[in-house]
Amino acid sequence: MNAANRMAYDTLVVGGGIAGLQAALDLADQGFRVAVLERGASIGGKMIRLSKVFPTLDCASCITTPKMASAAHHPNITLFTACDLNTVTKTGGRFKARITQRPRYVDVAKCIGCRQCEYVCPVLVPDAEQGGFSARKAICIPFSNAIPQKAVLDPEHCMLCGKCEKICPTQAVDYLQQPVEFVLAASSVVLSTGYEMTDYRDKPQYGMGAIPNVIDALQMERLLAPHGPYNRVLRPSDGKEPDTIAFVQCAGSRDHSMGVGYCSRFCCMYAIKQAMLLSGSLPLAEIRIYYMDIRAFGKNYEQFYQNAKAMGIEFVKAKVARIDAAEEGRVRVRYEDQLEGGALDAEHDLVVLSMGVVPGWNPRGIISVSCHTDQFIRQVQPKRQPTWTDQPGVFVAGAAAGPKDIVDSIAEAGSAAMQAANYLKAAAAS
């Protein structure tokens, strides 16, 4: 590691989702120099993968893309993508972050985002960015509005045919690229590492991974997105338009036996949103939501729920016990009716699981901040200073501190930026 690989910033923002981008923009607008560290190949977090957002049904990428572009073009913000944070140490009030940038096998300084490499690549791989429903190439720009618009080569699937290297007009493809380690210094840190959905492939009762027409809610977001895999909602097994669709709430959350005892908070609202969008795109479909309680906690959320009921979406108060494959690609849901009592079965063409939500990252062994028992980053003063961690100079924003919707994530990011700015000013004055 040489001196050129050392960089100094006022704030290091870890996580380039909507919370991290908002915190970075608020700090950068005040004149602070900000580094945004993102482990993915693009910034944007989960929000850039969503279709529309509750309760306004605004287009998600119409809100996220301008923020991503503002961060990318801001003179005070530097983006580092495809990066892993190894350690953060603190000496004399300065943080030193050791980072590894994974190889993209494409020189980002040379890549002009022309996609010639992508067009000639002969390898097709299921595209996780589209919920696995469509294919991408082994070298590609991660998704249409990714930032940076630079190709990334997937070494696991590349067969080294050399076509991308030959066609590239700027000689950007570099099969021999190695990981780069560098050190970044900052006077404060904002942790905005978000959340992940639980993976229940090893728990058979919900059929995830085993029954093709059982999908998770992020996959449904892609089916509903205007730039999604099919431009319409089709069930995965046979491409048929589903006539009956069920949403299963608390599929693994509020359930200690599944490892997630807490409420994942935004699932009720996104299931209602998806059900409303579905009833628009498939007006004849029967749409049912199996729920334990509806938690419509935010401004205008209760009205949103009432609107869904008025649109004919059926709400069944029930705890789903098992999901099994039935004939002709249908899915059988066994549930306990919590109003009438008794165990009942119903069949649907497509089932969407509102899975539990877990932290996107664990700071243990990397940076000295503590977590709650649920493993989300601990807010030491959740009521008075919700963005403070137990390490002075390190702040937390968005779903990194617990499941949170976009409105709350953005508000909290603004607060984290203000707290970080105050901290930086106080440190400069002392």
Ligand X SMILES: Cc1cc2nc3c(=O)[nH]c(=O)nc-3n(C[C@H](O)[C@H](O)[C@H](O)COP(=O)(O)OP(=O)(O)OC[C@H]3O[C@@H](n4cnc5c(N)ncnc54)[C@H](O)[C@@H]3O)c2cc1C
Binding residues for ligand X, rule: CB under 6 A, are 14-20, 37-40, 45-47, 50, 53-54, 85, 192-195, 197, 217-218, 221, 266, 270, 273, 360-361, 398-400, 404-407, 409
For 101, other C-beta atoms within 10 Å of its C-beta total 18
Q: Which is nearer to ligand X, 17 or 207 (CB)?
A: 17
One-letter amino acid for residue 208 of the chain: M
Q: Which is nearer to ligand X, 165 or 412 (CB)?
A: 412
Q: Compute the least distance from the CB of residue 87 to ligand X, in Å.
A: 12
Q: Which contiguous run of DSSP H or E holds residue 85?
A: strand 83-91
SS3 74: coil
Q: Compute the least distance from the CB of residue 42 to ligand X, in Å.
A: 8
Q: Which is nearer to ligand X, 50 or 172 (CB)?
A: 50
Residues 6+ apart with CB under 8 A from 115: 140, 141, 151
Q: Which is nearer to ligand X, 255 or 324 (CB)?
A: 255
Q: Compute the least distance from the CB of residue 182 to ligand X, in Å.
A: 14
Q: Which is nearer to ligand X, 10 or 38 (CB)?
A: 38
Identify whether the C-beta of residue 23 lies closer than 8 Å to the C-beta of residue 13: yes
Q: Compute the least distance from the CB of residue 143 to ligand X, in Å.
A: 13
Q: Compute the least distance from the CB of residue 301 to ligand X, in Å.
A: 10
Residue 254 vs residues 160, 236, 259: alpha-carbon distances, Å: 47, 28, 9
Q: Compute the least distance from the CB of residue 274 to ligand X, in Å.
A: 8
φ/ψ region of 31 (left if φ > 0, alpha if ψ in -120 to 50, else beta) reads: left
Q: Compute the least distance from the CB of residue 126 to ligand X, in Å.
A: 19
State how far the Cα of 322 lies from the Cα of 328, in Å rounded to an integer: 19
Q: Which is nearer to ligand X, 45 or 229 (CB)?
A: 45
One-letter amino acid for residue 392 of the chain: P
Give the pairing of strands 83-91 and 94-101.
antiparallel
State how far the Cα of 291 lies from the Cα of 293, in Å rounded to an integer: 6
Phi, psi torsion values for 187, nearest 5 degrees: -90, -15
Q: Which is nearer to ligand X, 24 or 217 (CB)?
A: 217
